[in-house]
C-alpha cells in the first residue's frame, strides 16, 4: 500500500449531483487516490437539513450545517448547492483560504465568472467546472487543454436536455410542445415549478457564455448572449422542417466571425434553428446533449452524451477532483483562465447566417417577382424557392405557400426584409422565420 499525502475534500450540497459525488468518492476513494497520487478524504458534507432524504447514503457524522467551518479546513472544496448566493461567497472564501474549487454551477459562472477566476489567479488556486456545461460530457477540459493549440471557429451545441427532448418528441412522435413539455416534466427533465430556465433558453445561454469565453479567450458576459427559447415553435414548423430535410434544434452557438463592416468578433447566441438531417447534431435524440466544434486545424469534432443526471454529472465532478488532487501533488500556481484575445462581442444585428422564410401569398401573376424584389431591395440573396398551391375556400382568391431559403445575410437585413414582407400587398402572412445552421 502506497502512503499518500492526504487531501481534505469538503462537499457543499448533497442534492442530485452532490449525493452521488459523496457516494462514489466514499466507494472508490482508494482507486481515485491511486490515480491522483494523493489520498482524498471526504471531511464533511454541508447540507441545509441534516434529516432530509437523499438519493445516496452518506454517513450521518459527515453531515454538517456549518459550511463555513468546513470550507476553512479543506484543501479542495466542491460546490454543488447551485444558485448565486451563498455559493458565490463560499467559493470566494474557499479560494481565499487557498483551496482549489470544483463547481457545476453554470448560473454562478455565467454571472460572476470573471470575479471568481480573477481571485483564483491572484491566490494561485484553480477553479474547475467540467460539470457546468453539458454535465458528464467532457467539453471544458478538451477546450481548455486538448484544443489549446488550435483556433476554434465555431461551436454548435445542444446543451439543454429538456428542450432537445421536447423538440425530438415533436419531430418523432408528432406531439405538441405542450404535451411534450408535460412528458419532460413527468420524467424529471424540466423543472415542475418553473420550466422557463429550460424552454426559454436561459440555461443554454449560461452554458453559451461559459463556452464562448473559454473558446475565444474573451470575457463573454451572460447579457451579451442573444437568446430565444422554443416556446414559439409549432408542430407545423417541425413537420415542414422534416419534409424539407431539416430538424429543429435549440442551439447554443459560439462563433468567431467578421461582420459586414469587417469587424472581427465573437457571436454568442441561443435559438431554435433548422439543422440539416445529414448533420451529426440531427442524430442527437431525447434528452442527450452534444457539442459540435469546428476548429481550424482539427476540423470537425463532436462530443456526445448525458448532459444531466445525478450520477452522470458526478463523473465530471470526480474527474475535476482527480485533476485538482494531481495539481496539489505537483504544486505551483493554477492555470489562469485566459481572456487575452478580448475580442469585441457582436450584437445579434451583426450576425450573418442563412434563413428560411415561409409565406402565405396570393397566387397570381407577378407575386413571385414582387417577393423576390423585396429580398433584393434589402440586400438578401435568395438561394431556393419552393411553392405549393392550396385549393382554398375561395377559388377567385387562390393561395400559395412560398418557402424561401436565403444565402448568408445579416440579421439586420433579414429583419428589414421580413418587416417589408409583412406589409406587402401580395403577402397574406409571414408564417415562419427560422435560421439555418450547420451547413
Ligand atoms: N442535476 C444535474 O443534472 C446537473 C447537471 C449539470 C450541472 N448541475 C449543477 O450542479 C449543481 C447542483 O445541482 P443538483 O441538481 O444536484 O441540485 P439539487 O437542487 O438537487 O441539490 C442542491 C442541494 O444543495 C442544497 N443547498 C442549497 N443551499 C444550501 C446551503 N446554503 N447550504 C447547504 N446546502 C445547500 C439543497 O438543499 C440541495 O440538497 C447546480 O449548480 C446545477 O446547475 C446539475
Ligand atoms: N435543465 C438542464 C439540466 C442540466 O443543466 C437540462 O435540461 O439539460
Ligand atoms: Na461537461
**Assembly ipTM:** 0.98
Per-residue confidence at 193, pLDDT binned at 50, 70, 90?
A: confident
Whether residues 392 and 421 share a domain: the answer is: yes
pLDDT tens-digit readout, 389-417: 876 667 777 789 999 999 999 999 999 99
Whether residues 202 and 245 share a domain: the answer is: yes
Whether residues 234 and 124 share a domain: the answer is: no
Catalytic residues: 207
What's the 136 CA to ligand 3 centre distance in angstroms? Answer: 5
Whether residues 228 and 156 share a domain: the answer is: yes
138 or 362, higher pLDDT? 138
pTM for this predicted structure: 0.96
Is the CB of residue 313 below 6 angstroms from any atom belonging to ligand 2? no
* Ligand 1 pocket test, candidate residues 23, 81, 308, most atoms within 8 A of CB: 81
Whether residues 392 and 288 share a domain: the answer is: no
Per-residue confidence at 47, pLDDT binned at 50, 70, 90?
A: very high
Per-residue confidence at 339, pLDDT binned at 50, 70, 90?
A: confident
Is the CB of residue 131 below 6 angstroms from any atom belonging to ligand 1? yes
Given this model, what pLDDT does residue 392 score?
64
Given this model, what pLDDT does residue 393 score?
61
Instruction: Tally the domains of the chain.
Output: 3
What percent of the chain shows pLDDT beyond 70?
Answer: 99
Whether residues 37 and 66 share a domain: the answer is: yes
Residue 337 belongs to a domain: no
pLDDT tens-digit readout, 275-313: 999 999 999 999 999 999 999 999 999 999 999 999 999
Given this model, what pLDDT does residue 1 score?
61
Domain harbouring 264, CATH code: 3.30.360.10
What's the 129 CA to ligand 3 centre distance in angstroms? Answer: 8
Which residues have beta carbons under 5 A from ligand 3 (an ion)? 130, 134, 137, 139, 316
Residue numbers of the domain that contains 374? 351-436
Q: Which residues are annotated as a binding site for NADPH?
A: 106
Whether residues 27 and 82 share a domain: the answer is: yes
Whether residues 120 and 146 share a domain: the answer is: no
Residue 404 belongs to a domain: yes
**Lowest mean pLDDT segment, chosen from 247-251, 260-264, 372-376:** 260-264
CA 350 – CA 263 distance, rounded (Å): 10
CA atoms within 13 A on the CB side of 325: 26
Whether residues 126 and 23 share a domain: the answer is: yes
Q: Which of 10, 25, 76, 12 is nearest to 315 (CA)?
A: 25
Q: Which residue's alpha carbon is at the smallest distance from atom 9 of ligand 1?
A: 104
Whether residues 76 and 215 share a domain: the answer is: no
What percent of the chain shows pLDDT beyond 90?
Answer: 90
190 or 393, higher pLDDT? 190
* Ligand 1 pocket test, candidate residues 52, 80, 162, 210, most atoms within 8 A of CB: 80
Whether residues 163 and 175 share a domain: the answer is: yes
Q: Which residues are annotated as a binding site for L-homoserine?
A: 191
Amino acid at each position: 500500500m502506497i502512503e499518500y499525502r492526504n487531501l481534505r475534500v469538503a462537499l457543499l450540497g448533497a442534492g442530485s449531483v452532490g449525493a452521488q459525488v459523496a457516494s462514489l468518492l466514499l466507494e472508490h476513494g482508494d482507486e481515485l487516490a491511486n490515480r491522483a497520487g494523493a489520498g482524498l478524504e471526504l471531511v464533511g458534507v454541508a447540507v441545509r437539513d441534516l434529516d432530509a432524504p437523499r438519493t445516496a447514503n452518506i454517513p450521518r457524522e459527515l453531515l454538517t450545517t456549518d459550511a463555513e467551518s468546513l470550507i476553512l479546513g479543506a484543501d479542495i472544496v466542491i460546490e454543488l448547492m447551485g444558485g448565486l448566493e451563498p455559493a458565490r461567497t463560499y467559493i470566494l472564501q474557499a479560494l481565499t483560504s487557498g483551496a482549489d474549487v470544483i463547481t457545476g454551477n453554470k448560473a454562478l459562472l455565467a454571472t460572476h465568472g470573471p470575479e471568481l477566476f480573477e481571485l483564483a489567479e491572484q491566490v494561485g488556486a484553480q477553479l474547475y467546472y467540467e460539470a457546468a456545461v453539458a454535465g458528464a460530457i467532457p467539453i471544458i477540459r478538451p477546450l481548455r487543454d486538448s484544443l489549446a493549440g488550435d483556433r476554434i471557429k465555431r461551436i454548435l451545441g445542444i446543451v439543454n436536455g429538456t428542450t432537445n427532448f421536447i423538440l425530438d418528441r415533436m419531430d418523432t412522435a408528432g406531439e405538441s410542445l405542450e404535451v411534450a413539455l408535460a412528458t419532460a416534466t413527468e420524467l424529471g427533465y424540466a423543472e415542475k415549478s418553473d420550466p422557463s430556465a429550460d424552454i426559454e433558453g436561459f440555461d443554454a445561454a449560461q452554458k453559451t457564455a461559459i463556452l464562448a469565453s473559454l473558446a475565444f479567450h474573451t470575457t463573454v458576459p451572460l447579457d451579451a448572449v442573444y437568446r430565444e427559447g422554443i416556446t414559439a415553435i409549432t408542430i407545423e414548423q417541425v413537420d415542414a422542417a422534416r419534409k424539407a430535410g431539416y430538424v429543429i434544434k435549440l442551439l447554443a452557438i459560439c462563433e468567431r466571425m467578421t461582420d459586414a463592416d469587417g469587424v472581427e468578433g465573437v457571436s454568442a447566441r441561443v435559438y431554435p434553428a433548422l439543422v440539416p438531417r445529414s448533420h451529426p447534431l440531427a442524430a442527437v435524440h431525447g434528452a442527450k446533449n452534444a457539442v459540435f466544434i469546428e476548429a481550424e486545424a482539427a476540423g470537425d469534432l463532436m462530443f456526445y452524451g448525458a448532459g444531466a443526471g445525478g450520477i452522470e454529472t458526478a463523473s465530471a465532478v470526480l474527474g475535476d477532483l482527480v485533476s485538482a488532487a494531481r495539481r496539489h501533488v505537483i504544486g505551483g500556481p493554477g492555470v489562469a483562465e485566459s481572456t487575452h484575445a478580448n475580442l469585441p462581442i457582436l450584437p445579434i444585428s451583426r450576425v450573418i447566417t442563412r434563413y428560411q422564410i415561409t409565406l402565405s401569398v396570393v397566387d397570381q401573376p407577378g407575386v413571385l417577382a414582387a417577393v423576390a424584389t423585396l429580398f433584393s431591395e434589402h440586400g438578401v440573396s435568395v438561394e431556393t424557392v419552393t411553392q405549393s398551391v392550396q385549393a382554398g375556400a375561395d377559388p377567385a382568391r387562390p393561395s400559395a405557400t412560398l418557402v424561401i431559403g436565403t444565402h448568408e445575410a445579416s440579421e439586420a437585413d433579414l429583419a428589414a426584409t421580413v418587416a417589408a414582407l409583412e406589409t406587402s400587398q401580395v403577402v397574406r402572412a409571414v408564417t415562419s422565420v427560422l435560421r439555418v445552421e450547420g451547413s
